[in-house]
Amino acid sequence: MSFTDADNVGEFLVSARSFAEYEAMFSLSASDLAGRVLDCPAGAASFTAHAARLGALATAVDPVYAIAPRELRRLVVSEQDRGSAHTIAGSDRYVWDFYGDSVGHRAMRWASALTFVDDIAAHPDRYVVGSLPALPFDDGQFDLVLSSHFLFTYADRLDGRFHHRALVELLRVCSGEVRVFPLLDQGGHALGQMTEEVLGWLRRGGATAEVRPVAYEFQRGGNQMLVLSGSLTSTPQTG
């Protein structure tokens, strides 16, 4: 589909969400940023840059970081245009209060993209090439793991088994909480049965899985995050 189709953005989007968006999406507090934090997959978000400035040991992981710096900068710029066009095409599906309007939304994403490209150039050690469901990190390496707009968002092409493997992997590298936002697909639809199946597999494996409300809503109805914790005692078959 064309990226102007409000139900489908097309290829996986390299978005540049801001630190302010992360704070709201994941209900972040100062104590959350006092330790080792992973953003996965991070895309071109400025979260890692800002969190590091606040003292967090912040790491971003994404397969897109394998691209040469000059080409990555061009990609990030073009992807913000693509993302804005997709959002405007389905503008009635969004609550604009956080940004003011589509102009404010675009401005925030552009500022975030520029922060990202500057930070990855200055601090490449913060940005690691990797992708779910197999990450290049040790068990329990992070105190907090954040995952924004990948899992559940692309449920049209990533099935329940993939989601289960990915969430098991995020739990593996985390000694504290894994937070995932949102619990809607890219068209703004709740996933119902698939979400319940995945959470059931995780709970039977020994994880704690809780859905919590957050004080942020951009996609209509998208005001919940999934919070996972605990050590898996088993990884049950997923059908």
pLDDT in tens, the chain (239 residues): 233 344 554 578 899 999 999 999 999 999 999 999 999 999 999 999 999 999 999 999 999 999 999 999 999 988 888 888 888 888 999 999 999 999 999 999 999 999 999 999 999 999 999 999 999 999 999 999 999 999 999 998 899 999 999 999 999 999 999 999 999 988 888 888 889 999 999 999 999 999 999 999 999 999 999 999 998 765 555 54
What pLDDT does 85 receive?
Answer: 85
What pLDDT does 147 receive?
Answer: 98
Query: Which CATH superfamily includes the segment(s) 19-229?
Result: Vaccinia Virus protein VP39 (3.40.50.150)
Question: How many residues can be counted in the chain?
Answer: 239
**Mean pLDDT in the chain?**
91
Structure tokens at 26: 């994941």
What pLDDT does 89 receive?
Answer: 86
* Beta bridge partners of residue 142, listed in sequence order: 174
117-157 confidence digits (pLDDT tens): 999 999 999 999 999 999 999 999 999 999 999 999 999 88
CA 76/CA 142 separation, integer angstroms: 27
Report helix, strand or coil for 136: coil
Quick one: which H or E segment has residue 237? none
What pLDDT does 7 receive?
Answer: 53
What pLDDT does 235 receive?
Answer: 55
208-227 confidence digits (pLDDT tens): 999 999 999 999 999 999 99
Q: Domain-by-domain residue ranges, the chain?
A: 19-229
Report helix, strand or coil for 194: helix
CA 6/CA 188 separation, integer angstroms: 9
